[in-house]
Structure 1
Amino acid sequence: MPLAAYTVLINPYGAVIYLNAEETDTASDVLSKFWKEWGDRVEERFPKLKRAEVKLLRLLEPLDSTFEDQVSAQMRKYDTTKKQTLRPHDVIGPYDPDHLTFEIAAHPWVLSLGHKKNTVAEDLHDGMVQRIREAPSPSQIARSIHTYKAEHEKGALFYNGRPLEQSAAPVSVYNLAFAKIQEKLNNLNEMNIRAEVTSFYLAGISQLFRDACELYDDEKAREQVVMNQIRKLLEISFEFRHDITTAGRSAKVTQADGVHYVLVKEQGLLEREFKAIDSCFELKNELGLGGLPDVQLAVTYEKAISQDEYTAIRAASCCPAVLINVCGPYIRFYGAVLAEVCIVQPFTDYIFLGGDPGDVEDRLVYAAKVFAIFREGLAELRDWYEKLHFHGDAIKVSERIFPSPTYAADAQSELLKTLRFVDRFDYGGSPPTASGRAGVDLRRSLFLASLNNHEVLVKFCSRYGEKAHRELAKRNPPLAPKLHACVRLVGGTTMVVMDIVPGKVTAASKQYAKQPLPSAMIRDVETALKALHEKGLVHGDVRRPNIMAITRDDGVTGAMLVDFDWAGENGKVFYPIMLNLDIAWAQGVQTGQAIRPEHDWSMFRNLGDPRQI
């Protein structure tokens, strides 16, 4: 029979867990079952906690609810004189499985000895949820660019690349379905749509064009016709005009134009069902009417996943969802996740569902390809949710806030099968937050991870000079960190796994500010550039922030080069088109032009200038 017990040993917010117990069981029996099922998680949080220090307490006044958020608030105020500590051989006695009758606890001072603090990523995640809950309604925020900007300046609500500094890791690295969607979109030209869908499906796309280009009196009229056709093409049944409410209350938080839920079953004794959003849409009768549609859609999604009733899904996943914007005859698809922060990224531009007779055929083919991709992607996402493992409303899985890369080859998966993400990587390049914690630049997709029980740095980027990195890493002494892997993921993103340089001190850090670099560091950089150029390779970004100080075996402080994003073959790799022109680049460096050895040497000569950034 299920026994409900409250505990803070699994996460700091408190959780209700369920154990299979009998009235004739002793406290020792119940605790043994607890350790068998939850021991790993408890020991992860409290490495120094001894099992004998954990007790089973009976609540003399059981709580008539087992909903975690409500129970946590009640337990914080619970009269401690009404808690009975059971001895190991005490029989637990009768209990009602629908009431909370027990607590599994340890003395607070014991927990304080070995308490594992939240990671930077967890703090960011919790702060994001709180920020969303406190924000005004989606329609208020999206009313105009002025209201959105004013709210945004209080703290980012979501990361969508506006402004550019408000960017984060690609959503394709967080979920299998998103990775496959992005991969297919990257290879649209290889898709033979006439062979992949039926003529009936193509006729449906044609009908959508006719419907979308009509003029409608209001949103409801457009919704009834256009969204019905989109629903058929995506093979998904939306709940229209769906109210988002707070669990246990009738008050409406907001209203979504349309959402689709997947039923997810809890693993365990109770097998409760929870509803997860896999898609959400916002509709405007015409583009430009009714405020900022992309903002309203993003905040509607955020409001839905930040509510109490979504706690279980939020605790077990990054809440991936496909967002769909329909504005007049235009449609746009996005991917959204709640990782450390909420990331909302467009998969497509606005697609015009119409056109003059001269080009409408090409538009129809393009739209058919995109719709077929999202039809398959949504089916994949639904399947992913249905297989999601979680254990209650407040049992948080640490992996929920970290990337879940989809490897393009089995060999890569085997090589990195022990890779586990631990936290955001603090490279020392951002100012600390008001709380004193390290600041995080989310544009730099850097993560601390473990590979074969060894701490490593994981980086996600669009391109990387693997050959140049390996050339320097194999030198004796090494002139770059050991490179464990550089793999292309499904979706097109490159994932780089390397050793962490001890100390994480760059040549741009305080201890080297306003002074020339040590001669040994300069010699190592010079040696590194000669080695690259002899192999026909270039680095492209030889600046102080990309030079790491390293103490050699003889005690001398040498240097390693890092940041090989632009590195590659001489004349075959190019400076980014969005090059930061505020940096004092070498003479001859131009946006989008080839990287040359002379540029590396010019930047090398500038290293003696302590003002260089």
Structure 2
Amino acid sequence: MGGTEFRAMLNIEPYHFEFTFRKPYECIKASDVLDAAAGFLARYTHQHAQPMDARGVLLLRYLEEEDAFTAGSKHLPGDPISNEYPSTYTRLAANWCWTTGCNLSTKAVDGGSLLSYWAESHDATKVRWYVLLSVDPTPQFVPQGLKDGYELANQRRRYMEFVRTDVAARIATGLPSPSKVSAGVSKLPPEQKERTPISNGLCTRSDYGVNPIVIVPIFAEAHNMLRNLHLVNLELSSDLNGVNVKRTACKLIIAANKKCKNEKEFNTGIFEVLKELLHTEIFEFHLHYTLYDDRGKPLTELDWVAFCRTAHGWVCVPFSGEGKQRRGVGGDSILQNFCALQRLLAMDAKLRRFMELTACPILMLGVEGTDMRVWCMIFGAKICGSRLFDASLRKDMTALERLDLAIKLQIVRNTVRKLCEYYGSLHAATRPPTAPFLFPQPLALLQRLVPSPPPAVLDHLVSLRLHILETVETSKNPTRSLYSGVIFNVGWAAIPVLVKIVPSKYGAAAHQLLAEHDPPYAPRLFWCHEIIVGYTMVVMAKLEKPLVRDSLHPCKQDVDIVQRDIGEALRILHGANFVHGDVRQPNIIMTNDERAYLIDFDSADLAGVAEYPESLNPKIRWSGPASTLVSMPILKQHDLDRFQWTIDELNGVKVLPIPEKEPQQDAQEQEEIAEVAVDDGVDIELQLALAGGRIAF
């Protein structure tokens, strides 16, 4: 009787296992594989931790051919990953599990099924058998050059513990629930602002924290399609039981305008329409869902919430919403939904895996009278969210406006369905050590760009082998999309990089000009391209700063270096007809080799093309009052002026901003100009130009 050398993947360390069956392949059943895996894990965990009895909690899945693990015949399995020197095969297996193996489509294999039913023969170089195990994380190995993601995971746990403590305190002291918030900031109870640990501080605005579209590819796709509505394919079933988004749009308008006795009746009407829109067999949809504690006291309530399950049966939340009968009455729907979801995630034990293995992407929908608001939410270090779109539900909408609403409802339906599919495909049993789901996944984002990027751009990004490892937070702007990571551009040596995602274009040409100069005056630029519609991702070298240097009180030598190097950088830029637009202290880096570099080319472009952004900090000295420069051209002289003020600040001189003009002062100046024009017959346009400082003699 011949034996069979068998290989399979595991969704837990050591991420692969090998076993020799004493019978031919045609006689091996799935139950044999599960028994072998249970025995292997018992022996493996006995060496590294407490022995694990995995019998009865294992599942066997068959992989699609394109998802199979391929290591090549030259790589043998070797030692398990927790050994000091794991084999190349084991490194590759771990990488497969943390990327492809975490989320993919598989086929469930019944325990009594023969393996030969699924595959006629066993291919050891293309592993298509995947054993799933649901257990707590074991000690994990992190490839050289990568950091462990436990710190961010610990931040999330501390945040939720704070929420649980807050909930308990409110129940004990009778403080108002954080869901009872108002759209008017002035009406917020002080206790809520002080005690509710939500990242937005309970102030209504258009976004709270890091934008989820840069973290979750499904949200990025929704964002892209909202800017390309003509590409959305509508479901227009003629079957009464089918989905017809035009019909659903009309029903939603009717429900929003219906006269109801109370908010509960209003929410029920909206719920019925949403149930028709989101019609699917893969999630449970609840109206007025309430979570209670052990004593029967309500912890949180959601007007509408959907639950779906992973491949292991763990519960996830793809969709939630809040309804208000009239806008501005009874609180802000999105803000209340934030608070309710915050409590749900913190207090519902069955959602623990949901939070450990994902960024908890949830689509939120609020209806306030005849106004609809759709947001996306994630849970990173804190709960963050951003607006996707607003829509009107008025009765007097035109045919084109109703079509626009139908298209947007189709995007809502597509997004919720894809979130359910994402959760349903989740196979991870342990959190990958680098927690990739909490950081942008550039390749996945780029593949959803509309229109599709050129193949060369995609290939270049792939060749970098970029891994984003942690968020770079600053005290002044902790929500900016700035990350640190590594690339393996040449061999296995890790090159530290910064990854920046900006909601605008980026001055790549100006940056590249300084980076390629000899000597360079900007960090090396590895990659720069639009990654989401309207958003640009920049990958640049991370410069090594001196360990000890006082940026607030630099020595004269440092100031001289800045004046020398940044002055030369501006000369090079201006010589090529570029302007920078923001030559301030935060955008100048001193390095160990006693050189200064210019960074942050967000506003840089050709002179005559570059413009100031839509908002400028009025507390900073610019070439004019901040409000008057918005969207105005950036001049070379502005760079030189701002650079001189930066040098003055480094030398300890207090540089005050140019004050904004009072409205009365502007009106008085206009009256004086008009009087001159009438009395002296001077051309009015010339007078206005003179008064505005646009003409010099």
Structure 1 length-normalised TM: 0.73
| Alignment pair present for 1:415 and 2:456 | no
Letter in 2 for 1:274: W
Of 621, 627, 633 in structure 2, the residue corresponding to residue 594 of structure 1 is 633
CA distance in 1, matches of 2:258, 2:383: 35
**Computing the radius of gyration over CA atoms, which structure comes out larger, 1 or 2?**
2
Mapped partners of 1:425, 1:363: distance in 2 = 42
Secondary structure at the counterpart of residue 287 of structure 1: coil
From 426, 448, 458, the equivalent of 1:388 is 426
Label 1:38 to 1:227 Cα distance change in 2 as closer, same or farther (>3 A).
Answer: farther
Measure the CA separation in 2 of the matches of 1:441 and 1:330: 31
1:297 paired with 2:343, answer no
**What does residue range 425-444 of structure 1 map to in structure 2 within 5 Å?**
425=472, 430=475, 441-444=477-480
Partner of 1:336: 377
**Shift of the alpha carbon at 1:32?**
6.1
Match of 2:126 in 1: none
Deviation at 1:314, TM superposition (A): 0.9
Alignment-derived partner of residue 181 in structure 1: 222
- The one-letter amino acid of 2:440's match is P
Aligned to 1:607, what secondary structure does the other structure show? helix
SS in 2 for 1:243: strand
* Alpha-carbon offset, residue 302 of structure 1: 1.7
SS in 1 for 2:336: helix
Residue pair 1:506, 1:549 contacting (<8 A) in 2 also? no
Contact 1:483–1:497 (8 Å) recurs in 2: yes
Distance 1:263 1:412 in 2: 36
- The CA distance in 2 between the partners of 1:140 and 1:588, in whole Å, is 40
Q: Which residue of 2 aligns with 1:50?
A: none
Shift of residue 162 of structure 1?
A: 4.1
Return closer, same or farther for 1:330/1:529 CA change in 2, 3 Å cut-off.
Answer: same
Matched residue, 2:268: 224
2:574 corresponds to 1:543: no
Give the deviation of 1:249 after TM superposition.
Answer: 8.2
Which structure carries more relative contact order (alpha carbon 8 Å, separation 6+)? 1
Say yes or no: does 1:526 pair with 2:567.
yes
1:226-265 aligned within 5 A: 226-235=270-279, 238-245=285-292, 252-265=298-311
Q: Is the 8 A contact 2:375 2:388 kept in 1?
A: yes
Residue deviations 1:516-542 (CA, integer Å, cap 9, x gap) = 853232121111111111222110001
Cα deviation for residue 150 of structure 1 reads 3.7
Corresponding residue SS for 2:642:
helix
1:325 aligns with 2:361: no
In 2: Cα distance, 1:26 partner to 1:606 partner: 65
Deviation of residue 494 (structure 1)? 1.4
Q: Give the corresponding residue for 2:693.
A: none
State the match for 1:374 in structure 2: 412
Contact 2:163 2:197 in 1 (8 A): no
Which residue does 1:354 correspond to in 2? 394
| 1:102-153 superposed Cα distances (whole Å, 9 cap, x missing partner) | 99899xxxxxxxxx98765344323322233233489544344444654333
1:264 and 1:275 in contact (8 A); partners too: yes
Question: Residue 489 of structure 1 corresponds to which residue in structure 2?
Answer: 531
Structure 1, residues 5-47: CA drift from partner, whole Å, max 9, x if none? xx9999xxxxxxxx96799889755546989999647979xxx
Matched with 1:203 is: 247
**Which position in structure 1 is the counterpart of 2:192?**
151
Structure 1 residues 573 and 164, CA gap change in structure 2 (3 angstroms): farther
Q: Quick one: distance in 2 between partners of 1:465 and 1:290?
A: 46
The residue matched to 1:520 in structure 2 has which SS?
helix
Following superposition, the deviation at residue 549 of structure 1 comes to 0.9
Contact 1:312 1:395 in 2 (8 A): no
The superposition leaves residues 325-362 of structure 1 with CA deviations (integer Å, 9 ceiling, x where unpaired) of: 1222221111000012211211113x220143xx5323
Q: How many angstroms apart in 2 are the aligned matches of 1:197 and 1:25?
A: 53
2:214 and 2:326 mapped to 1: Cα distance?
Answer: 33
Aligned equivalents of 1:374, 1:506: Cα separation in 2: 51
CA shift, 1:570, in A, is: 1.3
Give me the CA root mean square deviation: 4.0
Q: C-alpha separation between the residues in 1 aligned to 2:38 and 2:314?
A: 29
1:447 matches 2:483:
yes
Inter-partner Cα distance in structure 2 for 1:192 and 1:421 = 31
Unaligned runs of 5+ in 2: 1-11, 16-33, 52-76, 86-132, 141-146, 171-175, 239-243, 489-493, 656-697
Q: Is the 8 A contact 1:584 1:612 kept in 2?
A: no
For residues 196 and 251 of structure 1, do their structure 2 counterparts lie closer, same or farther at Cα, with a shift above 3 Å needed?
closer
Cα drift, residue 155 of structure 1 = 6.5
Distance 1:289 1:535 in 2: 57
Amino acid corresponding to residue 499 of structure 1 in structure 2: A
Map of 1:560 onto structure 2: 597
Give secondary structure in 1 for the equivalent of 2:389: coil
Which residue of 586, 604, 610 corresponds with 1:573?
A: 610
Residue type matched to 2:461 in 1?
Answer: L
SS of 1:403's equivalent in the other structure is: coil
Say which SS state the counterpart of residue 572 (structure 2) adopts.
helix
> What is the CA–CA distance in structure 2 between the aligned matches of 1:20 and 1:334, rounded to whole Å?
46
Distance (Å, rounded) in 1 between the aligned partners of 2:580 and 2:39: 71
- Once residues 119 and 312 of structure 1 are traced to their aligned partners in structure 2, the CA distance between those partners, rounded to angstroms, is 15
Q: Deviations over 1:307-335 (max 9, x none)?
A: 32211111110010101112222211110
- In structure 2, distance between residues paired with 1:103 and 1:277: 22
Q: Is the 8 A contact 2:467 2:486 kept in 1?
A: yes
Shift of 1:581: 0.9
CA shift, 1:586, in A, is 2.4
Q: Secondary structure at the match of 1:262?
A: strand
**Distance of 1:546 and 1:375 partners within structure 2:** 43
Segments of structure 1 that go 5 or more residues without pairing to the other structure are 1-6, 11-18, 45-97, 107-115, 267-272, 431-439
In 2, Cα distance between equivalents of 1:373 and 1:22: 43
In structure 1, the residue matched to 2:353 is: 312
Partners in 2 of 1:304 and 1:293 — Cα distance? 16
- 1:228–1:279 Cα change, 3 Å: same
One-letter amino acid of the structure 2 residue matched with residue 404 of structure 1: Q
| SS of match in other structure, 1:572 | coil
Confirm whether residue 604 of structure 1 aligns to residue 643 of structure 2: yes
Task: Tell me the secondary structure at the aligned position of residue 460 of structure 1.
Answer: strand
Q: Distance in 2 between matches of 1:346 and 1:24?
A: 50
TM superposition score normalised by structure 2: 0.65
Change (3 A) 1:26 1:414: closer
Separation in structure 1 between the aligned mates of residue 387 and residue 163 of structure 2, nearest angstrom: 20
Q: Partner of 1:86 in structure 2?
A: none
Structure 1 residues 49-80: Cα deviation after superposition (integer angstroms, max 9, x where no partner): xxxxxxxxxxxxxxxxxxxxxxxxxxxxxxxx
SS of corresponding position for 1:512: coil
**C-alpha distance after superposition, 1:551-573 (max 9, x if no partner):** 44xxxx22100011111121212
Answer with 404-413 or 530-539: which moved more. 404-413
1:522 match: secondary structure: helix
Task: Quickly say closer, same or farther: Cα 1:29–1:479, change in 2 above 3 A.
Answer: closer
What code does the residue aligned with 1:579 have?
Answer: L
- How far is the alpha carbon of 1:259 from its aligned partner? 1.0
CA distance in 2, matches of 1:587, 1:505: 37
Q: Is the 8 A contact 1:283 1:326 kept in 2?
A: yes
What CA deviation, in whole Å up to 9, does each residue of 1:433-486 have, x standing for no partner? xxxxxxx84232211111112211111111221111111100111100011111
Q: Partner of 1:503 in structure 2?
A: 545
Residues of 2 paired with 1:475 and 1:161: CA distance?
Answer: 48
User: 2: CA distance between counterparts of 1:23 and 1:230?
Assistant: 44
